[in-house]
Amino acid sequence: MPMTKWPLFITVGQVIIFPYYLFWLKNSTLTFSLFALIFALFSFGAALGYHLQQKWTMPIALPIALLGMIYMLTLDVESLYIISVMQVILGFLQGYFRAWHVGQETYKLQVVWHYVIVGLAMVALSTVTIVVPQIFVAIYGFMLVICAIVMALKKCKKK
Amino acid sequence: MKRSTKTGLLVGLVGVMTGVVWWQIPIEKRTYGLSQTAMTTDYTGLMPEKVAQINEVKKREELVAIVKEAQKAKRTISIAGLQHSQGGHTYYKDGIVIDMRAFNRVLSVNEQQKTVKVEAGASWMDVQEALAKKGLALRVTQSQSIFTIGGSLSVNAHGRDIRYGSMASTVRELTIVNAQGEFETLKRGRDDERLQYILGGYGLFGVIVDVTLDVTDNTVYTMHTTEMKMADYAPHMRSILKDDRIAMHYARISVAPNSFLEDVYTIDYEKMEAIDHTSPLKGESSERLSKLGLDLGRQGGALENGFWQLQRGYMKLIDDKEINRNDAMRSESTFMEYTKPGRVEVLQEFFVPLDEFEAYVNELQQVLPHDDKKNDVKVHNITLRYVAKDDATALNYATDDMMGFVVLLQHGTSEQSIEEAKTLIRQWTDVTLKHEGTYYLPYYPYQTTDQFKKAYPNAASVYDEKQQQDPDIIFRNYFYDNYVKHAND
Ligand SMILES: Cc1cc2nc3c(=O)[nH]c(=O)nc-3n(C[C@H](O)[C@H](O)[C@H](O)COP(=O)(O)OP(=O)(O)OC[C@H]3O[C@@H](n4cnc5c(N)ncnc54)[C@H](O)[C@@H]3O)c2cc1C
């Protein structure tokens, strides 16, 4: 895949996987109010990530790999205390990634495709019965980590 | 807005919100207990059973009436305190359960003689409330105060005290309702022969109605915490036993993969001059932080290593801090609650003579998995305690001065998982028996009858005494069926 297409894969993937992630989160948080609060945590984390991307930059492969690892952790984590910390990190990384993506030349072009692909994927997924949502989330996480490694390698080669 | 102010605000927002979320996370609470309409369980919920009738007792005469009624109706009676026992010790299929929790008055505190008289359904919390006001404290109790007096005496519990011997030996006098439905008062020194079956008798020799216990001063202690290698622990223990200033002690041995059964930290309580007459009893504190730590440990692997480091850090923080005796006997308990469906956390306790400590741990290192992250049975914690030789009970786990290994384990609740837990615990018990050790009986009966008989050579005499005192086996529970009944097989 050319370097410019990676962000599309990541944003589309994030949206597709998010319902499963939410499903897992709702199961883990037991009550709606706690679920909502933990979600607020995600949002504030994202605001911080977006804001800080404009100040400090790191190779984009790093936040992508970290995102992947957090998604993979859903397989193993039960403690609400740990989940709440995961939420902050996840929000932060997504905010950071978004801020980076917006700055890319291809962003506007990809937004249209993003919505179309997400719509089609969700239609396809509506036919699948999900028993353990975190398996999907973790597979996606794994793909992100691979993706980050390939991105980093390609970048090194280019240099 | 300046950029740095914005960053600060956002970081603050995330921090505050994390605090709010942590505050909102409910402290888990196990649902278990007596039920007339649904299944009755104890603390682990592992052995649900339907009982016929639950009688909450408020007056002593009601106990007599229940025993007589049971005799007539040919029903069994089980006795329940706060049900922290874990192997069906407090109920029996289609039987009557006596719920002792409302029978909980502290009847008198004698400051001159240093005794307390209390109804058996009272919890240690109730007793501590009464004693603390008079500058007094218990001699022997568990490390937490969430148990009834009757339940604790019936298992002959132990805790952090290293000077007063067994809990049973602190009983001056007690009243029971026996299997014939009569009150009997038994005194230390006069009725030791009978008392040895009731204390540590798991509710099989009558209902304990009230008890007079020896108590002591609510002395102020300084806590000394020390880190050491496992091989240095037994010498440390011997040296504090010789040092009269040390009144209480416990230790933890690492179960983290990178220091498994190698690193130990100890907490010794040194007597100060002062006796505390005024401080209110301490409540639960930092339960969320403790829960977070334990949750990290439960993840196993690197996080369990992290949890051990956290505990070491905490120990350094409390070094040289003061605490009174009552507070040292009422540790936090809510943070330990664990309620994941399909999994359960249970306790086991093994005792070995102090002289065997090092050889025993060396052998355990060969037998137990150092990293159980991927296993179904996981060991989360081992606390070490000293348990003095006991001559006051027939089902005696401290046949010598012993070190107790209190083990917190987690496993699944499916049949296969329970079988896996049995395999591991039976192996562990074999190693314990090989080192002249025993194991504690209030917990789930993972062990075999053979192991029980080896650990408790007196079991046959307990069986005989039971047949003599209660030939119709009116007082019955699953402890009787799982263990005592087979003592003569
Ligand atoms: C989290 C936890 C921590 C623990 N810590 C310790 C510890 O530090 N040290 C230790 O030694 N043990 C410890 N235990 C074990 C505990 O001490 C025993 O299980 C104790 O019996 C609990 O008291 P209870 O009131 O819950 O008794 P229950 O479980 O209600 O009863 C225990 C036994 O006593 C009998 N019984 C109860 N009341 C009476 C009565 N009035 N007359 C006659 N028989 C009666 C019951 O029939 C039963 O056989 C712990 C257990 C848990 C779950």
- pLDDT tens digits, B174-188: 999 999 999 999 999
- Which of B30, B43, B58, B85 has most ligand 1 atoms within 8 Å of its beta carbon, as the pocket-test mutant? B85
- pLDDT tens digits, B270-290: 999 999 999 999 998 888 888
Tell me: do B161 and B224 sit in the same domain: no
Give, in order, the Cα–Cα distances in Å from B370 to each of B341, B356, B379, B403, B430.
26, 21, 9, 21, 19
Tell me: do B188 and B231 sit in the same domain: no
Domain stops at, among B443, B467, B483: B443
- Nearest chain B Cα to A53, which residue? B7
In A, which residues are within 8 Å of B6 by CB distance?
51
Place of tokens 């150092």: B370
Contact call for A55 and B299, based on CB within 8 A: no
Task: Return the CATH number at B398.
Answer: 3.40.462
In a domain? residue B98: no
**pTM for this model (two decimals):** 0.86
pLDDT at B286: 82
First CA to last CA distance, chain B: 83
Closest to B431 (Cα-Cα) out of B466, B407, B413? B407
In a domain? residue B11: no
Q: Does A90 touch chain B (CB under 8 A)?
A: no
Rounded mean pLDDT for each run of 10 residues along chain A, 159 residues in total: 70 84 84 88 94 88 93 87 92 93 80 81 78 85 92 82
Ligand 1 atom nearest to B43, measured from its CA: 53
In a domain? residue B225: yes
- Nearest chain B Cα to A37, which residue? B21
**Residue B87 near residue B78 (C-beta atoms within 8 A):** no
Residue B129 CA, distance from chain mean position: 20
Residue B47 CA, distance from chain mean position: 19
Q: Is the CB of B103 under 6 A from ligand 1?
A: no
Nearest residue by C-alpha to atom 19 in ligand 1: B85
Q: Which of B20, B24, B340 to mutate to test the interface with A (most CBs of A within 10 A)?
A: B24
Bridge partners for B225 per DSSP: B267
Q: Is A139 exposed, middle or buried (0-12, 13-18, 19+ CB in 10 A)?
A: middle
Q: Cα-flanking dihedrals φ and ψ of residue A125, to 5°?
A: -70, -20
Q: Does A106 touch chain B (CB under 8 A)?
A: no
Please indicate whether residue A71 or residue B24 has the higher confidence score (pLDDT): A71
- pLDDT tens digits, B41-52: 999 999 999 999
Task: Return the CATH number at B184.
Answer: 3.30.465.10
In a domain? residue A49: yes
Tell me: do B145 and B252 sit in the same domain: no
Provide the mean pLDDT of chain B.
Answer: 95
pLDDT of B234 strictly over 90: yes
pLDDT at A32: 85
Tell me: do B226 and B202 sit in the same domain: no
Closest to B48 (Cα-Cα) out of B34, B58, B67? B34
**Residue B98 near residue B120 (C-beta atoms within 8 A):** no
Say how many Å lie between the CA of residue B201 and the centre of ligand 1: 11
Contact call for B18 and A51, based on CB within 8 A: no
Place of tokens 């469906």: B341
In a domain? residue B12: no
Nearest residue by C-alpha to atom 36 in ligand 1: B151
Contact call for A51 and B6, based on CB within 8 A: yes
Please indicate whether residue B39 or residue A105 has the higher confidence score (pLDDT): B39
CA distance B377 to chain A (A): 16
pLDDT at B224: 98
- pLDDT tens digits, B348-380: 999 999 999 999 999 999 999 999 999 999 999
Range(s) of the domain holding residue B141: 106-217
Q: In chain B, what's the furthest Cα-to-Cα distance?
A: 87
Closest to B252 (Cα-Cα) out of B165, B164, B318, B167? B318
Closest to B186 (Cα-Cα) out of B156, B209, B157? B209
How many residue contacts between A and B have a Cβ separation below 8 Å? 64
- pLDDT tens digits, B250-265: 999 999 999 999 999 9
Contact call for A78 and B10, based on CB within 8 A: no
